[in-house]
Amino acid sequence: MRAQTNLVALVLSLALLTGATVIGVTFADAALADADRDPIDRHVVTTVADRLVAADAPTTVRANALNATAVENLSASRIEALAPPAEDAAIRITLDGEPIVARGAPGGGATIRRSVVVVSHSEPVHRTINLSRDSTVRVPRGVGRATVAVDTGPNTTLRTVHASGRVVLYDGAGLETNTTVHLSRYGPTTIRVDPGTNATGRVAVTYRQPRTESRTLTVTANA
């Protein structure tokens, strides 16, 4: 039996080797399980968020600026039309925690956050230039367009309307119109007319003052 002590040592070493293999496979298993992310979920949330804030999306007024009215009218089917990857996915979209769209329970899915501004428009503001008294009206910054209605009295010819020195309306035969003009959003605008002396009538300027609020858009989805 003395010769078989070698055998005992061999069996022992093989058992140790088996143990090492099992431990190795367990670690490999854990590593594989750790690496098992769901790229499809990530794709769904990034495309939904990207398409929602894109400059050419129906929900925005410009890139990263959401239109408050369009956001209120959002629904799961509109999200699908905007971003087809969201089809059949459980999805939740919130603005500062306030839910906008919710379908299913996307717990455990991917989440993405975007910093956006929400633009809402005030009720129309009416300002009037009484041609017999004054000749300018000031529009605050942020207003991109205004409606100018020219209604001159008898014996008055108004040919030009200026916005911050730029000619926005001109008619050599005299203006009598109701038109939308585009203004610069980046600063206050002065709308000026040149009625001449003894003029009568009025120019009405109507605009909507935009209000912007900074919010966090959160999209969670589980495909």
Partner 1 sequence: MTARDRALVPVVGKTLEALIVVLYVASLVTVLHGGVLPEYRTAAAAEVSDRTLVTAADRIEASIPPPSTRVDVTRTVDLPDTIDRATYRIRVVNGVMVLDHPDDALSGRVPLAIPDRVVTVSGVWKSDEPAAIRVRGDADRVRVMLS
- Residue ranges binding partner 1 (CB under 8 A): 3-4, 6-7, 10-11, 14, 17-18, 21, 25, 28, 32, 35-36, 38-40, 42-43, 46-48, 50-51, 54-56, 63, 82-85, 87
Q: Which is nearer to partner 1, 19 or 174 (CB)?
A: 19
End-to-end C-alpha distance for the chain, whole angstroms? 66
Closest CB 55 distance from partner 1, rounded Å: 5
Closest CB 93 distance from partner 1, rounded Å: 15
Backbone φ and ψ for 103, nearest 5 degrees, come out as: -145, 120
Closest CB 132 distance from partner 1, rounded Å: 46
Closest CB 88 distance from partner 1, rounded Å: 10
Residue 115 CA to residue 63 CA, distance in Å, equals 11
Q: Which is nearer to partner 1, 45 or 169 (CB)?
A: 45
Residue 102 CA to residue 214 CA, distance in Å, equals 22
Closest CB 28 distance from partner 1, rounded Å: 7
Q: Hey, which residues does 128 pair with through a beta bridge?
A: 204
Q: Which is nearer to partner 1, 41 or 199 (CB)?
A: 41
Residue given tokens 């610069």 in the structure block: 184
Closest CB 48 distance from partner 1, rounded Å: 8
Query: What distance lies between CA 156 and its chain's CA centroid?
Result: 46
Q: Which is nearer to partner 1, 34 or 98 (CB)?
A: 34
Q: Which is nearer to partner 1, 15 or 167 (CB)?
A: 15
Residue 33 CA to residue 21 CA, distance in Å, equals 18
Q: Which is nearer to partner 1, 40 or 125 (CB)?
A: 40
SS3 37: coil
DSSP 212: E
Under 8 Å between Cβ of 101 and 83:
no
**Among residues 104, 123, 151, 134, which one has the least CA distance to residue 211?**
123
Two tokens, residue 154: 């008898």
